[in-house]
Chains A and B, each alone.
Chain A
Amino acid sequence: MKELLETILSPAFGYAILRVTTPILFAGLGAAVTELAGVINIGMEGIMLTAALAGVVVGALCESAAAGLAAAVAAGVLMALVMAYFSLNLKTDIILAGIALNLMASGGTVFLLYVVAHDKGVSSSLASPVLPQVRIPVIDQIPVLGEILSNHNVMVYVALLSVLVVSYFLYRTPYGLRLRAVGENPDAADSVGISVHQVRYVALIISGILGGFGGAHLSMGYVSWFARDMTAGRGFIGIAAQALGGQTPIGTLLASLFFGMTDALSNFMHFIGIPSEFVQMLPYLATVLALALYARRQVTRRARLARVNRPVEAGTGAAAEGD
């Protein structure tokens, strides 16, 4: 027990949390952006996985980490575009499109891996580059905080920065305003001349970029190779994080940290005899709990729209149901 407390309260633990949180945060931010535009991006998992492979393969081929990163982002955007095309143009249900994409990514990456590296499990035969670690000059002098915050892989800082950037984008730019309007009341946006289609495309592309970053971090920072299914559900955890965080960037950050913390914690749980699996369950249970608690108070999007725009029709118990 004592060892556990020592471990948890050590700066190294804080460092580990940030490290583990990063891919979840990228996924969560991407999912939040699309959710705010009215699109559920279940395909985040597949996006990140594809990006992770792309980063490794191109990075190795070009012997450049930067090239790898660019490829990862490009792959993420490409996957997102496929999703967008099928769901927005061909009218496939967005959730099914996401599931299909995940499936394709899961198998497709192993397939490509084998073609390129002649191994189905890991890409270690490839000499893939790693993104640099960064020391922050002033901060790393601070006793505890410095150890937690400094010397991370550059993508960790990109992730934290993304929270700010996405926040600013959503709440301080005209395009962000339009995006939120499209998600909440597409008819209203349409009536003032905003192309709902275009906005949703952009939202998906943004999530593709963020997912690309997440994938790059996984295979070029977190570890330095690609392994099959290495996203291990982080795409879905990201979706959970934005759900728990109420679709706001800050909320997503906090929820992602919570997920990261339990993930990091689970390695130490055996010290006090709690099976790590229970700790790993925590974030998911928390999400379900939050959902249950919020749902009670939260009026569905549709009812809210009705209450504001059709004030007489909408009434106690009258609104037509359906999500």
Chain B
Amino acid sequence: MNGTTRTTDYLFQVYRTLIAVLLALALGFVITCFVSEMPLEAFGNFLLGPLTSVRRFGNVIEAAIPLVFTGLAVSIVFQASQFNIGAEGQFFMGAVAAVIVGIVLPLPGVIHVLVCLAAAMAAGALCGWIPGVLKARLGASELVSSLMLNYVYFRLGVYVINYHFRDKEAGALVSWPIRETSWLDQFLQPTRIHWGILVVAAAVVFVYLFLYRTRWGYALRMTGLNINFARYAGIGTASVIVYSQVLGGAIAGLGGAVEMLGIHRRFIWMMMPGYGWDGIIVAILARNNPLGVVLGALFLAYMRTGADIMARMTDVSAEMVTVIQGVMILLVTAQAFLAGWRHRIVVREATRRKEVPQSEGAA
């Protein structure tokens, strides 16, 4: 039936991803040539800029941290075949919760941080729970409900910050700064890399272990791969639907907290920051694998940082990178992309190994 070996299949996927990336980059270069007086310098900055200084490379790492969180969150729900795209709102509410605890509670250092993180996870979990339970109990589309709730959570968060925690002395619409005891210190000068890097590493390890080394993660993955099979084998799929989205929410919320405690130290977002959507991109690139999420996040962050550098040093604005990313997603996820090539590989392998006798008129 399937003429390829596992290795061939895997290699094909890798090549295809590579080609997609290269094509997207090539397109970016073409665009740069059109708009810039110094295309080579500009594109060079984009590709290599982050490597030119410690601080710049640090930017890549800092930018990658929230992406790993939302990437993990989305990977979890996608592996359960739930299309919950609420990472954006969950991240946001997690940040709100962390900021509130950070402002209000006087607690000693490490404990304060932990409580902030816990509050954020609880907030995110609650946010993810609603679409989950609507799907499990009522069969309501988690895509629509999570999309809608993003806006609800956004408004809710903005309300809470604006009406109860607003720093009226500051120039812009921001909250009070959080107490220093809740900070995740930036320890690696001259970068802004903070201890949140430990949290994110822990999150990656946790999600990996959860998905591949626990019975709940197993149940989640089987439900995602074939819900009928899982149900038939006695797996409580309704329960999986809920806890996958709760866990995803908690991780996304955690990400919001880490970003707050490590970088901003006060609530500054009056628009949705977009990490949730980025998380979806990261999850797609990583094919929902937690370890791949780290790579995907770094990749995305690298490109964003490179684009920023290019914008600062040359005449090309950073937004070009979104076009490249968009094309990349489209190509990477296109099943039929290079399908003709793949088909030729399949046929060649099959005839070479002669495992399956092909009859004359077979398709």
Contacts and interface: CB of A to CB of B under 8 A. Distances in A.
Task: Give yes or no for direct A-B contact (beta carbon below 8 Å).
Answer: yes
Interface of A: 40, 86, 89-93, 95-97, 99-104, 106-108, 110-111, 114-115, 120, 229, 233, 236, 239-240, 243, 275, 277-278, 280-281, 284-285, 287-288, 291-292, 294-296, 300, 320-323
A272 B152 CA distance: 21
Contacts of B141: 291, 295, 323
Interface stretch (B63-71, B288-296, B331-339): B331-339
Contact of B326 (A101, A275, A294, A300): A101
A103 B145 contact: no
Interface residues of B, number: 48
B333 A111 contact: no
Interface in B136-154: 138-141, 143-145, 147-149, 151-152
Given A86-B330, A90-B334, A240-B144, 16 more contacts: A93-B333, A95-B83, A95-B143, A97-B330, A100-B326, A102-B277, A107-B322, A115-B35, A275-B162, A280-B155, A281-B152, A285-B152, A287-B144, A288-B134, A295-B139, A323-B141
B313 to A, nearest CB: 15
A288 B151 contact: no
B323 A111 contact: yes
A296 B149 CA distance: 19
B231 interface: yes
A121 to B, nearest CB: 12
Interface in B294-350: 317, 319-323, 325-327, 329-331, 333-337
Nearest to B35: A115
Contacts of B321: 107
- Top 4 A-B residue pairs of the complex, sorted by shortest distance between their CB atoms: A107-B322, A104-B326, A90-B334, A107-B319
A96 B333 contact: yes
A120 B317 contact: yes
Nearest to B227: A321
Contacts of B148: 240, 284-285, 287-288, 291
B2 to A, nearest CB: 18
Residue of B130, B144, B284 ringed by the most chain A CB atoms within 10 A: B144
A291 B133 CA distance: 13
8 contacts: A108-B320, A111-B35, A277-B162, A280-B155, A288-B134, A288-B148, A292-B134, A323-B141
Nearest to A88: B336
B228 A320 contact: yes
B101 interface: no
The main secondary structure of chain A at its interface with chain B is helix
B287 to A, nearest CB: 12
Contacts of A101: 326
Contact of A99 (B134, B152, B277): B277
Contacts of A284: 148-149, 151-152
Residue of B163, B317, B321 ringed by the most chain A CB atoms within 10 A: B317
Contacts of B320: 107-108, 111
Contacts of B178: none
Contact of B155 (A90, A278, A292, A322): A278
B329 A100 contact: yes
Interface in B115-145: 130, 134, 138-141, 143-145
A237 B152 CA distance: 12
Contacts of A275: 159, 162-163
Contacts of B336: 89-91
A99 B329 contact: yes
Interface in B203-231: 227-228, 231
B83 A239 contact: no
Given A240-B144, A240-B147, A295-B138, A108 B155 contact: no
A99 B280 contact: yes
Interface in B190-214: none
